[in-house]
Amino acid sequence: MKRPALGLAAALIAGGFLATAASPAAMAETLRWARSGDALTMDPHSQNEGPTNTMHHHIYETLVTRDNDGVLIPRLATEWSIKEGDPTTWVFELRQGIKFHDGADFTAEDVVFSINRVLEDTSDFKGLHAAVEGVTAVDDDTVEIKLSGPSPLYPNNLTNTFMMDKGWAEANNVTKPQDFANNEESFAVRNANGTGPYRLDSRDPGVKTEMSYFDGHWDDKPDVTKIIYTPIKENATRVAALLSGEVDFVQDVPVQDIERLSGTDGIKVTRGPENRTIFFAYDMASEKLRSASVDDNPFTKPEVREALALALDREAIQKVVMRGESIPTGVQMPPFVNGWTEELDKYEAPNTDRAKELLAAAGYPDGFSVDLNCPNDRYINDEAICQAFVGMLARVGVTANLVSQSKTLHFPLIQNRETDFYLLGWGVPPFDSSYIFNFLVHTKGDALGGWNGSGYSNADLDTKIKAIEIEVDLEKRNAIIAEIWDQIQEDRIFLAVHNQVLAYAMKDNISIAVDPENQAEMYFTKVE
């Protein structure tokens, strides 16, 4: 124990009243876990959101999952393949002898029920399963999923699709994810019955969630048998809780505190790349910008886009704003993603003089001014990144007025195409380029291009983006993906800044590997 010596008076008080605040790391099997946000609900299909999915991975299980390198591995399904003679159907073989926390058997019927539940209107995962036409249980351990067309990468969409017990859901009247318009709380919001390694003991939303090991689980017994999860929103308070010994493991560690935490006795920090790229983008379609000082749209000119790229000093941002905790990149995609190459990842060295020349050549010898929209509560140091870029832009003559606000105000600007110039981060849960193309590159329409805030529209690319959805020949498919990326880089649709790096801080005696999607897994945690 590294408790400092107390003064006499303090010791007297401490004896009577203030004693137990700093008891050392509790029993080895209990893990006290803190991160910035809480799971929003225990209903596994209601919210597709980071902390919610992380919590569900402990209580519920999916058919397939990923290891820490992003490779698809079995979980509740042991094998999966495209049905012979029918490229539009996937066949999943289920693990046998699985039980739910309440003792019910896990069967193919539960999978059919869960996939159908995910397809309900009120589900937040239905977008990932839009191609599903039907699910059938062939026998107790085999499920077939029929899709509207060939879908070679469909299993990638199942990594956050959790399996529920049909009987439990029917008994508790939660056969659909909660409908917000209906003014009743659904039973599944605070209760759970999964097949996962931990069962839910108690849940006080936003305050504390307790889970303990489910001894009917099919896999080996984990080191951690009890989890106490407390969200702590403020960075300083969260770091303080670890420093004072009140929690054992902290996610969402602010980059500036990594050094201090690693240097503290009894605490260690592990790091790993996150599956998320931070980038700037701009309106490439409007004739006139909303906030610019000039009467046309500078971003439509390739010279201006190149000048912006030359103004951006990624390494300075990495060194100072990110404290070395980021991986600068020249492409809007992390290395895990299918389609990434070292060639694409390269970026130009910043060159202020050349940028000024390009601006002058484009007809803006005195630069121009424009609003830069930025979130301030979504990505690591998002506002500081924008601020740093404002300074870099100022040096080439572009006056960017920083408008930084909450994500709830920022995201609609992009979705509704109401911004001239913005920062966004994009994660790629299916680990495939098509996910980026579908949302960020395809022409904005009802189903695709939902986050294409730049208005970029290229009919040729749209055709290719649709083609890779159904291309079964993976080599051919990858060739098309490479073509699309070349066009994206040539047109400079995105100005990629860096890939985020995740840091987990914990007591010395525990080891938690960093997951690229920030899904910390207590099940695999080692305790010494």
Partner 1 sequence: MLTFIVQRLFQAVLVMLVVALVAFSLFRFVGDPVATMLGQEATVADREALRDRLGLNDPIAAQFGRFVVNAAQGEFGISYRLQQPVLELILERLPATLELAFVSGVLAFVFGVVLGIYTALRRDGVLSNIIMTTSLIGVSLPTFLIGVLLIWVFAVELQWLPSFGRGEVVDIGGWKTGFLTVNGLQSLILPAITLGLYQMTLIMRLVRAEMLEVLRTDYIKFARARGLTDRAINFGHALKNTLVPVITITGLQLGSIIAFAIITETVFQWPGVGFLFINSIQFVDVPVMAAYLIFIALVFVTINLIVDILYFVVDPRLRVERSTGGG
Partner 2 sequence: MTDITPEQTQPAKPARPRGRLTRWWDSDVAWSFRHSPVAIVATFVVAVMSLAALLAPWIAPYHPFDPATLNLLDGFTPPMQENQFTGNVFWLGTDDQGRDIFSAILYGSRISLFVGISAVLFAMTLGVTLGLIAGYVGGWIDTLIMRVADVQLSFPSILIALLVFGIARGFIPPAYRADMAIWVLIVSIGLSDWVQYARTVRGATLVERSKDYVQAARLIGVPSGLIMLRHVLPNVLGPVLVIATIGLALAIITEATLSFLGVGVPPTQPSLGTLIRIGQGFLFSGEWWIILFPSIALLALALAVNLLGDWMRDALNPKLR
Summarize as ranges the residues that interact with partner 2 (CB under 8 A). 235-236, 239-240, 243, 254, 256-257, 259-260, 290-291, 293, 313, 316-317, 319-321, 369, 371, 376-377, 383-384, 387-388, 390-395, 401-406
Binding-site partner at residue 131 among partner 2, partner 1, none, CB < 5 to 8 Å by type: none
256 binds, among partner 1, partner 2, none (CB under 5 to 8 A by kind): partner 2
127, 118 Cβ separation under 8 angstroms: no
Residues 6+ away with beta carbon under 8 Å from 506: 242, 248, 249, 250, 267, 268, 269, 270, 512
Distance between CA 86 and CA 148 in Å, rounded?
11
| Residue 403's binding partner out of partner 1, partner 2, none, with CB under 5 to 8 Å set by partner kind | partner 2
Report the distance separating Cα 36 and Cα 39, nearest Å. Answer: 10
273 by DSSP, 3-state: which? strand
Contact 205, 191 (CB under 8 A): no
> If binding is defined by CB under 8 A, does position 184 make contact with partner 1?
yes
Which of 9, 27, 447, 459 binds partner 1 (CB under 8 A)? It is 447
Closest CA to 30 of 521, 522, 524: 522
Least distance in angstroms from the C-beta of 346 to partner 2 = 22
Residue 192 or 386: which CB sits closer to partner 2? 386
- Closer residue to partner 1 (CB): 314 or 442: 442
Q: Is 173 in the site for partner 1 (CB under 8 A)?
A: no
Q: Which tokens hold the place of 188? A: 């599944």
Choose the binding region for partner 1 from 13-21, 381-389, 396-404, 462-470 (rule: CB under 8 A). Answer: 13-21
- Angstrom distance (rounded) from CA 278 to CA 490: 19
Question: Which amino acid would we find at residue 394?
Answer: A
302 in Cβ contact with 320 (< 8 Å):
no
Which residue in 8, 9, 27, 181 binds partner 1 (CB under 8 A)?
181
Q: Under 8 Å CB-to-CB from 447, ≥6 apart: which residues?
A: 130
Is 46 among the residues that bind partner 1 (CB under 8 A)? yes
Q: Which of these segments, 9-17, 87-95, 219-227, 473-481, binds partner 1 (CB under 8 A)?
A: 9-17
Phi first, then psi, for residue 75 (nearest 5°) are -135, -95
Q: With respect to partner 2, which residue has the nearer C-beta, 4 or 97?
A: 4
Rounded Cα distance between 262 and 55, Å, is 26
Q: Of residues 113, 125, 198, 249, which one binds partner 1 by CB under 8 A?
A: 125
Pick one of partner 2, partner 1, none as the site partner of residue 453 (Cβ within 5 to 8 A by kind).
none
Residue whose pair of structure tokens reads 């049909």 in the numeric block: 166
Rounded Cα distance, 341 and 343, in Å: 5
What's the rounded Cα separation, in Å, for the pair 108 and 113?
Answer: 9
Residue 187 makes contact with partner 1 by CB under 8 A: no
Min CB(369)–partner 2 separation in Å: 8
235 phi and psi angles, rounded to 5 deg: -55, -50
Smallest separation (angstroms) from partner 1 to the CB of 149: 18
Provide φ and ψ at 443, rounded to 5°.
-55, 135
Choose the contact partner of 3 out of partner 1, partner 2, none; CB within 5 to 8 A by kind. partner 1
- Shortest distance (Å) from residue 101 CB to partner 1: 21
Q: What is the closest distance, in whole angstroms, from the C-beta atom of residue 389 to partner 2 in the complex?
A: 9
Question: Exposed e or buried b for every residue in 93-112, given b needs 16+ CB within 10 A?
Answer: bbbeebebbeebebbbebbb
Q: How far is the CB of 444 from partner 1 (least distance, A)?
A: 8
Binding partner of 387, given partner 1, partner 2, none, CB within 5-8 angstroms per partner class: partner 2
Per CB under 8 A, 134 contacts partner 1:
no
| Site size with partner 1, rule: CB under 8 A | 72
Please state the closest distance from residue 391 (CB atom) to partner 2, in A. 4
Pick out residues in 280-309 that bind partner 1 (CB under 8 A). none
Nearest-CA neighbor of 214 among 231, 235, 185, 193? Answer: 193
Distance CA 393, CA 369 (A): 10
Selection from partner 2, partner 1, none that 116 binds (CB < 5 to 8 A by kind) is none
Binders of partner 1 among 376-405, rule CB under 8 A? 377
Find the binder of partner 1 among 109, 144, 246, 521 (CB under 8 A).
Answer: 246
Output the smallest distance, CB 93 to partner 1, in A: 27
Q: Which residues contact 112 (CB under 8 A, 6 or more apart)?
A: 135, 136, 137, 143, 166
Residue in 219, 412, 460, 479 binding partner 1, rule: CB under 8 A: 412
For 278, list phi and psi in degrees, rounded to 5. Answer: -100, 135
Residue 147 Cβ vs partner 1, minimum distance, rounded to whole Å: 16
- Structure tokens belonging to residue 341: 């190459």
- CB nearer to partner 2: give 201 or 377: 377
CB of 18 to partner 2, least distance (A): 22
**Cβ count within 10 A of residue 347:** 18
For residue 118, give the nearest of 76, 51, 62 by alpha carbon.
62
CB of 205 to partner 1, least distance (A): 5
CA trace torsion 256, 257, 260, 265 (10° rounding): -160
Least Å from the CB of residue 269 to partner 1:
17
Choice between 28 and 403, CB closer to partner 2: 403
Which positions from 305 through 344 interact with partner 1, judged by CB under 8 A? none
- Coarse DSSP helix, strand, coil percentages of the chain, rounded to the nearest 5 percent: 30, 25, 45
237 binds partner 1 (CB under 8 A): yes
